[in-house]
Amino acid sequence: MAKSQLTASDYVHLHNHTQYSLLDGLTRVPDLVEFVKEQGMEAVAMTDHGTLSGAIEFYKEANGKAIKPIIGIETYVAARKHTDKDPQKDKNRFHLILLAMNNQGYENLMRLSTIANLDGYYYFPRIDHDLLEKYNEGIIATSACLGGEIGDALKNEDYQGAKEIATWYKTVFGDRYYLEIQDHGHPNAPSHNAEQKLVNEQIFKLGKELDIPVVLTCDAHYLKHEDQEAHEILLCVGTGAFLSDEKRMSLKDFELHVIPPNELIARWGDEHPEVITNSKKIADRCQVDIELGKILIPKFPVPKGKTEKSYLHELVWQGLAWRYGNIPLDKRDSIAVTDAKKTLTKDIIERAEYELGVMDEMGYNGYFLIVQDFINWGKDQGVIFGPGRGSAAGSIVSYAIRITEIDPMKYQLMFERFLNPHRISMPDIDIDIQDTRRDEVIQYCVDKYGKDRVANIVTFGRMFARNAVRDVSRVLQVPYAEADRLAKMIPQPIQGRHVPLKISLAEDPDLKREYETNETSKKVLDEALVLEGTVRSHGVHAAGVVIAPDDIVKFVPLEMAQKGVVSTQYPMGPVEELGLLKMDSLGLSNLTIIKTALSIVKRLYDN
C-alpha cells in the first residue's frame, strides 16, 4: 500500500508508557486515549515498565471512547535466570514488549508480571526465557527498543547474536513475534540518530532473512513534543537530580512523545508501508474482554450438610437470640433456629428476614460468613475491634453475628444505607482493629483461604499541586524559601479534595498575579501544571485486603509494594470493579491504647 493510500486508522501505537511507569512515564491514560481518538485512530496499546497497574483504568477509558484497548507490558528479561541476583553478572536486563491477544494472554501477562515482581526483582522486575516458553500462549511479543536483546546485540555489532536471539523468539512465539524499529531521534543528537538508523537497517535485514515481520513503534513516554522538559523534570524527581546536572539520567536526545500517525506515515509510508500496516495487523489480532461488575466471592467452608444460606441464617437467628432474647453466649450456638425465633419480637424477626432476603437475592451470603468468621476469630483471640463504623452499623444481621456492636433497632438505623436491593454493589464493611494485631487477623485469612488467594491492595501517591510545585522547584534549584512561599500560595484541599492548579490560577488573584509578574514562579507553575496528578509513589493501602475465590493472579497481578508485603498491582477502584471481596480493616492505635488500658485495669483490680 502506497503512502498516499495510508490513513491514520492504518497505524496503531503499540509501545506507550503512562504515568504508571513510575517517575518515567508522564502520559495520563485519559489523555492518551483522547489523543488517539482525535487523530482518527482505532486502537492503542499501553505498555508500562514492569507493571500492569493501569490496565483496568486503560481498558475502561478506551472502551468508553470506542477505542480498542491493547493491554501490554514492557517487561525486563534477565541476562540469565530471573532468580539470579549476582551483582557481577545480573545487573543487565533487556526490554521486551508483550501484548495480550486474548483473555488467556491477559492472564499470562498477569502471571509473568507477578513472577517478575515477587521472584525476579533485582533492581527491576525480571522474567527469563524459561518463563516465556511456559507462559507465552495468547501473547504477541515485539523486540522493543535499543535496550532490547535484539537492539543491544546490533548496537554492539553482533549481528549473529541478534540472529540467534530472533530465531529463539520465532521458535517460541511463531507468527506472534515481531521486530521493532523506532524513529525518535532528536535533531540535536546526531550520534543517537545514526545508531538508531543503523540498528533499523539491520533489523530490516534480519526480518527479511528470518521471515519475521517488522513494525514501527514510538516508545512514547509523554504525550506531546512540548512536554519533553516536564518529562526531564519528572526523571529528576525520580533520581533526586537537578535539571542542570550534566551527568544525570536523561532522555533529552530522544523524541519520546506520541507521534501523530500522519507524521509517521509521511516518514515511512513510501519506502516501508508494511511497518505501518503491521501495527494495525497486530491490533486486529488482539481482543481482550474483561468482565467488570460481577461478584467474585470465595466459597466459605460450611459445616457438612449445610449451605452458605442455611448456615448464615442459623448463625443470625442464634445471634439474635443472644442479642435480644437473653440467651447466654455459651448456649447461643446450640439453640435451634425455631427456638431462637421464639425469644424474639415480631419487629426484630421481620427486620432480620428482610435483610437476609436481600442478602440472599444479591448473592452475599458467603461474604457475611467470611467477614464474621475472621472478626469472631479475632475477638476470641482477644483482639479489640471497633464497635462499627459506616453504614454496616445499620444491619441487624451484622449486629447478630458480631460484625458490629451497635443495635440498629435501638438507634433506628437504616439498612438500605448499607445494602440497597435496587442498587447492586458489593457490601462495604469498615472494620477498625487494634493496629498491633491487624497482621494476625490477615494471617488467619491467609491460612484459611491460601496465600495464593489473599493480598493487600496497592495505593498510589500522587503529585498534587503543592507537592508538584515543591518538586519542580527543587529540580530547578529554586531557593527553598521561594519554593515554600509559592507552594503555600496554593489553596489547601477542600474537604480532602485537592483543588486543581489550573483552577487556582484562574480563581486566586494573588496566585494569578504571582504567575504574571514573577518569571521564576511562572516557570515552576507551568511545569507543575504538566506534572500535577502524576503518580509519584506506591505503597500498601492502610486498610484494603482482597480475598479471591481462586488463585488471585487469575484476576489481578501482584507486586511487592512494600518490603515483605504482597499487594495487588491494581488499586482499590479496579479491585472493586472486578468484583473481588475486599476487606477494609484499618489498624488504629487508639484501640491498642484501649486494650492496654483494660489490661492494666484488669491486672490491678481483678482479684
For 100-150, the pLDDT digits (tens) are 999 999 999 999 999 999 999 999 999 999 999 999 999 999 999 999 999
- Do strands 177-182 and 121-122 pair parallel, antiparallel, or not at all (unpaired)? unpaired
What pLDDT sits at residue 191?
A: 65
Of the candidates 365, 426, 351, which has an alpha carbon nearest to the alpha carbon of residue 394?
351
User: Are 61 and 30 within 8 A, CB to CB?
Assistant: yes
Q: SS3 breakdown of the chain: % helix, strand, coil, rounded to 5?
A: 50, 20, 35
Which residues, in sequence order, are CB contacts of 213 under 8 Å at separation 6+?
178, 179, 207, 274, 278, 281
- Specify the pairing of strand 535-547 against strand 430-434: unpaired
Assess contact for 165 and 149: CB atoms under 8 A. Answer: yes
Burial label for 486, CB within 10 Å (0-12, 13-18, 19+), is buried
| Phi, psi of 444, deg, nearest 5 | -60, -45
Cα atoms in the 13 Å half-sphere on the side-chain side of 500: 7
Q: Cell 440497597: give the residue.
A: 420
Cα-flanking dihedrals φ and ψ of residue 284, to 5°? -65, -25
Residue 189, pLDDT score: 63
Q: Which amino acid belongs to residue 281?
A: K
Rounded distance between C-alpha atoms, residue 527 and residue 536, angstroms = 15
Beta bridge partners of 389: 430
pLDDT confidence of residue 562: 81
Domains belonging to the chain, first-starting first, are: 3-284 (3.20.20.140), 308-458+539-605 (no CATH), 464-532 (1.10.10.1600)
User: What's the whole-model pTM score?
Assistant: 0.94
Low-confidence ranges of the chain (pLDDT < 70): 1-4, 185-192, 607
Cell of 60: 475502561
Tell me the C-alpha distance between 33 and 281, whole Å: 19
Q: What is the DSSP letter of 300?
A: P
b/e code 48-68 from CB counts within 10 Å (16+ = b):
bbbbbbbbbbbbbbbeeeebb
Whole-angstrom Cα distance, residue 73 to residue 15? 9
- Which cell numbers in the block locate residue 586? 484499618
